[in-house]
Homo-oligomer: A and B are copies of this chain.
Amino acid sequence: MELTILGSNSATPIFNRHPTAQVLSLHNNLYLIDCGEATQMQLMRYKVKMSRISCIFISHLHGDHYLGLTGLLFTMHLNGRTQELHLFAQQELMDILELQFRLSATVLRFNLIFHPLRHYSSQIIFEDQSVKVKSIIMNHRIPCAGFVFTSKPVKGNLIIEKLRKYNVPVELYNRIKEGDDFVTETGELIPSSEFCLPPSDAVSYAFCSDTRYSESILPDISRVDLLYHEATFLHDMAERAEATFHTTARQAAQIAVKASVKKLLIGHFSARYRDLEPLLKEARSVFSNTELAIEGLTFKVG
Please report A residues at the B interface, Cβ cutoff 8 Å. Answer: 11-14, 18, 37-38, 40-41, 44, 61-64, 67-68, 70-71, 74-75, 78-79, 90, 92-93, 95-96, 99-100, 103-105, 141-142, 271
Chain B residue with the shortest CB-CB distance to A62 = B104
Apart from A11-B75, A13-B40, A18-B41, list 7 A-B contacts with CB within 8 A: A11-B74, A37-B38, A37-B71, A63-B74, A92-B99, A92-B103, A99-B99
Query: Could you tell me the distance between the alpha carbons of A18 and B37 in the complex, rounded to whole angstroms?
Result: 13
Contact A75 B12 (CB under 8 A): yes
Q: Provide 27 A-B residue pairs closer than 8 Å at the C-beta atoms, listed in order of the A residue.
A: A11-B74, A11-B75, A12-B78, A13-B41, A13-B44, A14-B44, A18-B41, A37-B37, A37-B38, A37-B40, A37-B67, A37-B68, A38-B38, A38-B41, A61-B100, A61-B104, A63-B70, A64-B74, A67-B67, A67-B71, A78-B271, A92-B99, A96-B99, A96-B100, A96-B103, A99-B99, A104-B142
Count of chain copies? 2
Which listed residue (B12, B75, B90, B104) contacts A74, Cβ 8 A? B12
Chain B residue with the shortest CB-CB distance to A60 = B104
Q: Which residues of B contact A14 (CB under 8 A)?
A: 44
